Amino acid sequence: MGWSIPDKGEGVNDAQSVVFQEYMDVLIEGMSGRNCVLSGCTVTGGAGMTPTVAKGAVLSAGVLFAIASATVTIATADATYPRIDLIVITSAGAKAVRAGTAAANPKPPARTTDDVVIAAIYVPANATTILTTHSTDLRIMRGRVTLKATTTPVTFNNNSTIQTYFTVTLPSGLFLAGQQLRCTCGGSWLTNTSGLSVLTLTIAYGGTTLFADATTTPTASAVRGGWYLDFILNAQSNTAQQTAGIFTTQAAVTAGRVAPTTGTAGMLEAIPAAAVANAPVVTAFRGSAAVDSDAADRTLTVQWTMSVANANSEMTMDFGIAELL
């Protein structure tokens, strides 16, 4: 559920029901989407002073981090007074404890810049065990959020091997049943070669190809064409994904159409080169995969392959965005 302050009398001590300024700052910062939890990271107590942080995913300063399940250590309790510690994920994606100051009426410590706070731990005087009831859940759970955005151009030419233009790694346990991700990217291409280059688009998730298709043989031209890709990746279950989207291109190509090697519907429907050079072509496509998103981190990639290695056969991606819906 995330951020939830217990009512007076519900926790092990009424200090847990106080809404401190630090808690409100965590809430506001998390709602902005800069420092928030995307999945998991629940804190549970147990034997000793080492509560467990569950696996999950967070954004710290807008950067996506996968969090592995592990324990953290709460420092020795004060002999006289209680204190409040914060369990956080740092701006480097590491689990850490920010220790408070013991006092008759303790308050939480200040956070370090871009800490993602996941729990406040009430540490009674002389405590030797941290239970789940000592933990106040301060996770700010976000839904729609940008996981990755790049405006730095990615360009490949003079090669004939598959190249990755956009990639985003989804932490284990994040992209589960009911989740959806939108990916958009675009740029330009050039096929001004004597040995004409066929261009192949490949979309893969977790190493499994969702969709792959090639253009017909393009007409050699010194004029660049533009392209734009927009698709949704849908998690029907933890182990079943589908994608559907639209590919738009602007280029002069010869007549004809090539069936996709993976997925449904062709990618680039050819247009008569002489009659409507640089005219736009829009094609819908669909694909599927069966990848267990809860077993390991999984990577979504957008790749292009040029069939001819030539300096004048070039593919450029100007931007790429991945959004969790």
Q: Give the per-residue pLDDT at 44.
A: 94
Q: What pLDDT score was predicted for residue 258?
A: 46
Measured between alpha carbons, how far is 110 from 12 in angstroms, rounded to an integer? 23
Query: Is the same domain home to 292 and 177?
Result: yes
Q: Tell me: do 249 and 213 sit in the same domain.
A: yes
Q: At residue 196, does pLDDT exceed 70?
A: no
Q: Is 110 exposed, middle or buried (0-12, 13-18, 19+ CB in 10 A)?
A: exposed
What's at 11, amino acid-wise?
G
Q: Given a cut of 90, is residue 3 above it in pLDDT?
A: no
Last residue of a domain, one of 137, 161, 182: 137
Statement to judge: residues 164 and 248 lie in one domain: yes
101: pLDDT strictly greater than 70: yes
The answer as to whether 4 is a domain residue is no
| Residue where one domain finishes, among candidates 92, 118, 137 | 137
Return all residues near 202 (Cβ < 8 A) that are at least 6 apart.
162, 209, 211, 212, 262, 301, 302, 303, 304, 305
Residue 5 within a domain: no
* Domain-located, residue 2: no
Phi then psi for residue 129, to 5 deg, are -140, 135
**289 is written with which tokens?**
């995969």
Phi, psi of 132 (to 5 degrees): -60, -35
Domain of 90, in residue numbers: 14-137
Residue 275 clears pLDDT 50, i.e. is over it:
no
Give a yes or no: residue 8 inside a domain. no
Span 24-47, average pLDDT: 88
Per-residue pLDDT of 204-233, as tens digits, reads 999 999 988 876 666 677 777 778 899 999
- Among the residue ranges 29-38, 128-137, 209-218, the one predicted with the least confidence is 209-218
Last residue of a domain, one of 137, 164, 184: 137
Query: Who contacts 232 (Cβ-Cβ below 8 Å, separation ≥6)?
Result: 180, 181, 182, 183, 243, 244, 245, 325
Rounded Cα distance between 276 and 78, Å, is 79
Residue 22 is inside which H or E element, if any? Answer: helix 21-31
Sole residue written with tokens 């370090």: 112
In the sheet that 63-67 helps form, which strands lie side by side, from edge to edge? 36-40, 56-60, 63-67
Helix, strand or coil for residue 97?
Answer: strand
- The total number of structural domains that make up the chain: 2
Residue type (1 letter), 150: T
Tally of CB atoms within 10 A around 54:
16
Radius of gyration of the chain (CA): 26
Same domain for 278 and 252: yes
Are 153 and 118 in a shared domain?
Answer: no
The pLDDT confidence band at residue 297, using thresholds 50, 70 and 90, is: very high
**Same structural domain, 255 and 160:** yes
**Whether residues 169 and 114 fall in one domain:** no
Q: For residue 200, name the pLDDT band (cuts at 50, 70, 90).
A: confident
On whether both 120 and 20 belong to a single domain, the answer is yes
The predicted model gives 255-267 an average pLDDT of 47
Confidence of residue 257 (pLDDT cuts 50, 70, 90): very low
Same domain, 232 and 287: yes
Mean of per-residue pLDDT scores for the chain: 84
Instruction: Compute φ and ψ for 268, nearest 5 degrees.
Output: -120, 105
Lowest mean pLDDT among 51-65, 171-185, 212-226, 250-264: 250-264
Q: Residue 255 has what pLDDT?
A: 39
Q: How many C-alpha atoms does 133 have within 13 Å on its Cβ side?
A: 9
